[in-house]
């Protein structure tokens, strides 16, 4: 059985431009992100996260950005973590890729589900502004960054995004 060692909550670097107004949505301790809504087309128009409290109450955080593009919502089940995979940006957020991962997948097909939004512009950042750990051992440990919130700048578009996260090291 795998053991998960959780690190402290950290604030990742802001990626994108300086337009719009600042925002920060960090979920309370004990809650988990259960839903993400993204409006997108050639860029990321806006984003909202929702979280589930320990007593099962769903709370929608404020929506950040404009109303253009297509709205897509996906859910994160209990027993999954949500990780950022890539942010492409310049003066605003051009593209965003997030993924869900099972804590203990029953097969490799259950392990990873990517969600990609936006266009092809901007400079990609595969680290998503998150600090990476130096893992000990023989490379068997796995690091996963679990999102616990978002921060950024928004106006008519999602101008910039960063992530509140906690790092989990999974020891096989």
Tell me the pLDDT tens digit for each residue of 128-163. 877 665 555 545 566 778 899 999 999 999 999 999
Does the global pTM surpass 0.85?
yes
State the SS3 of the chain.
CCEEEEEEEEECCCEECCCCEEEEEECCCCCEEEEEEEEECCCEEEEEEEEECCCCCEEECCCEECCCCEEEEEECCCCEEEEEEEEEECCCEEEEEEEEEECCCCCHHHCEEEEEEECCCCEEECCCCCCCCCCCCCCCCEEEEEEEEEEEEECCCEEEEEEEEEEEEEEC
Whether the CB-CB separation of 144 and 167 falls below 8 Å is answered with yes
**Residue range 112-133: average pLDDT?**
85
Give yes or no for residue 80 having a pLDDT over 70. yes
Phi-psi region of 16 (alpha: psi -120 to 50; beta: other; left: phi over 0): left
| Residues 48-56: contacts with CB under 8 Å, at least 24 apart | 49/25, 49/147, 49/149, 49/150, 51/27, 52/78, 53/28, 54/30
Question: How many structural domains does the chain have?
Answer: 1
List the domain range (segments joined by +) for residue 147.
3-171
pLDDT digits (tens, 9 = 90+) for 32-47: 999 999 999 999 999 9
What is the pLDDT confidence band of residue 171, given thresholds at 50, 70 and 90?
Answer: confident
116: CATH: 2.100.10.30
**Residue range 105-128: average pLDDT?**
81
């Amino acid at each position: 059985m795998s053991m998960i060692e959780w690190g402290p909550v950290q604030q990742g670097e802001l990626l994108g431009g300086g337009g719009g107004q600042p925002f920060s949505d960090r979920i309370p301790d004990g809650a988990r992100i259960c839903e993400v809504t993204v409006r997108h087309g050639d860029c990321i128009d806006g984003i909202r996260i929702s979280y589930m409290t320990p007593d099962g109450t769903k709370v929608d955080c404020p929506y950040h950005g404009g109303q253009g593009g297509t709205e897509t919502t996906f859910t994160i089940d209990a027993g999954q973590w949500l990780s950022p995979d890539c942010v492409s940006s310049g003066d605003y957020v051009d593209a965003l890729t997030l993924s869900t991962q099972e804590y203990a997948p029953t097969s490799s097909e259950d392990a990873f589900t990517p969600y990609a939004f936006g266009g092809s512009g901007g400079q990609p950042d595969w680290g998503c502004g998150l600090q990476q750990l130096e893992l000990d051992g023989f490379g068997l440990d796995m690091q996963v960054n679990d999102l616990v919130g978002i921060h950024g700048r928004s106006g008519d578009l999602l101008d910039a995004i960063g992530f509140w996260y906690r790092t989990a090291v999974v020891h096989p």
